[in-house]
Amino acid sequence: MGEASKKKEIFTYEAPWEIYGMSWSVRPDKRFRIAVGSFIEEYSNKVQIIQLNENKGQFQETAIFDHPYPTTKIMWIPDKVGTQKDLLATTGDYLRLWEVQSGSSSSSSSVAMKKLLNNNKNSEFCAPLTSFDWNDTDPSIIGTSSIDTTCTIWNIETGQAKTQLIAHDKEVYDIAFACGTEVFASVGADGSVRLFDLRSLEHSTIIYESSTPPDAPPLLRLAWNKQDTNYLATFMMDNTSVVILDIRVPSLPVAELQGHEQSVNAIAWAPHSHCHICSAGDDAHALIWDLQALPRAIEDPILAYKALGEINQLQWSASQPDWVAIGFGQQMQILRV
Percentage of the residues of the chain whose pLDDT score is greater than 70: 96
Torsion of CA 311, 317, 50, 86, to 10 degrees: -130
Rounded distance between C-alpha atoms, residue 99 and residue 115, angstroms: 9
DSSP bridge pairs for 164 = 152
Given a contact cutoff of 8 angstroms between Cβ atoms, the answer to whether 312 and 18 are in contact is no
pLDDT at 108: 83
pLDDT at 20: 96
pLDDT at 129: 97
The stretch 1-22 carries a mean pLDDT of 82
* DSSP-derived secondary structure letter, 319: S
Model confidence at 202: pLDDT above 70: yes
Model confidence at 143: pLDDT above 60: yes
Model confidence at 208: pLDDT above 90: yes
Model confidence at 4: pLDDT above 60: no
> Where does the pLDDT of residue 6 fall: very low under 50, low under 70, confident under 90, or very high at 90 and above?
low
pLDDT at 78: 96
Q: What is the pLDDT of residues 266-312, one digit of tens each?
A: 999 999 999 999 999 999 999 999 999 998 999 999 999 999 999 99
Task: Find the distance separating the first CA and the last CA of the chain, reported in whole Å.
Answer: 17
Rounded distance between C-alpha atoms, residue 303 and residue 80, angstroms: 28
Model confidence at 5: pLDDT above 80: no
Given a contact cutoff of 8 angstroms between Cβ atoms, the answer to whether 151 and 172 are in contact is yes
Q: What is the pLDDT of residues 56-112, one digit of tens each?
A: 999 999 999 999 999 999 999 999 999 999 999 999 999 999 999 987 666 789 999
pLDDT at 104: 66
Q: Side chain identity at 305, as an amino acid letter?
A: Y
Rounded distance between C-alpha atoms, residue 26 and residue 317, angstroms: 8
* DSSP-derived secondary structure letter, 318: S
Strands 242-246 and 172-177: unpaired
DSSP bridge pairs for 110 = 101
Q: Quick one: which of 74, 65, 69, 155 has its CA closest to 117? A: 155
Q: Quick one: which of 119, 75, 130 has its CA closest to 98? A: 75
The stretch 305-322 carries a mean pLDDT of 97
Give Cβ neighbours of residue 80 (< 8 Å, ≥ 6 apart): 26, 27, 28, 318, 319
Model confidence at 1: pLDDT above 50: no
In sequence order, what DSSP letters do the residues of 192-236 get, joined into one string?
Answer: EEEEEETT-TT--EEEEESSSTTSPPPEEEEEE-SSSTTEEEEEE
Q: Is the dihedral of CA 26, 29, 30, 31 positive or negative?
A: positive
Q: What is the pLDDT of residues 20-32, one digit of tens each?
A: 999 999 999 999 9
Q: What is the pLDDT of residues 226-253, one digit of tens each?
A: 999 999 999 999 999 999 999 999 889 9
The stretch 152-164 carries a mean pLDDT of 96
pLDDT at 106: 65
pLDDT at 125: 76
Sheet holding 323-328, edge to edge: 10-14, 331-336, 323-328, 313-316
Rounded distance between C-alpha atoms, residue 292 and residue 49, angstroms: 36
Given a contact cutoff of 8 angstroms between Cβ atoms, the answer to whether 228 and 245 are in contact is no
How far is C-alpha 115 from the geometric centre of its chain's CA atoms? Answer: 21
The stretch 154-180 carries a mean pLDDT of 96
